[in-house]
A = this chain, B = another copy of it.
């Protein structure tokens, strides 16, 4: 199933291009945005830079994308995908989508769909045979609209 570009945003002449995370996005509210998803305390510039470089060293195997609002200069949507290399399925690869969030003030513009489509396109270009993600029951409908199907149960253990 193909996701459609949001008509509302198109009609308003808004484009909202999706691009990869840049170092300067920390000062544009990237970490604040993640705070709308889960626990995300402020981190120092040094911490941000270290993690950014660490992820960068994975090349195309771990990509974080963002949408920047041209008017405000703020990051208003983000998501990530990383590529897991397996032995099963003829040494196949699986894309794992994580940490998708749209700013609460920017809902209704289908930015989430744009983020997910960008991540899916990337996983496809990396040769993944499957993309998976975990979500709360209330977000199932959104991911079904993006073309996903419910597959199984996510189990978790907190270690700290």
| A residues in contact (CB < 8 Å) with B | 30-31, 34, 37-41, 43, 47-48, 50-51, 54-55, 62, 82, 84-91, 96, 98-99, 120, 123-124, 128-137, 140, 143-144, 146-160
Flag if B40 contacts A89 (CB, 8 Å): yes
Q: Is the beta-carbon distance between B134 and A151 smaller than 8 angstroms?
A: yes
Contact of A90 among B41, B88, B128, B148 (CB under 8 A): B41
Hey, which chain B residues are within 8 Å of A84, CB to CB? 62, 82, 96, 98
Q: For A123, give its contact among B51, B123, B131, B159 (CB under 8 Å).
A: B159
Whole-angstrom distance from the CB of A150 to the nearest CB of chain B?
6
How many copies are assembled? 2
CA A129 – CA B39 in complex, angstroms?
12
Assembled-state Cα–Cα distance A96/B129 (Å)? 18
Q: Contact at A155–B159, with CB atoms within 8 Å?
A: no
**29 contacting pairs across A/B (C-beta < 8 A):** A31-B87, A34-B87, A34-B88, A38-B89, A39-B88, A40-B87, A41-B89, A43-B90, A48-B91, A55-B85, A62-B84, A62-B85, A82-B84, A120-B159, A124-B159, A129-B159, A131-B156, A131-B157, A134-B134, A134-B151, A134-B153, A134-B155, A143-B155, A147-B157, A149-B156, A150-B153, A150-B155, A151-B154, A152-B154
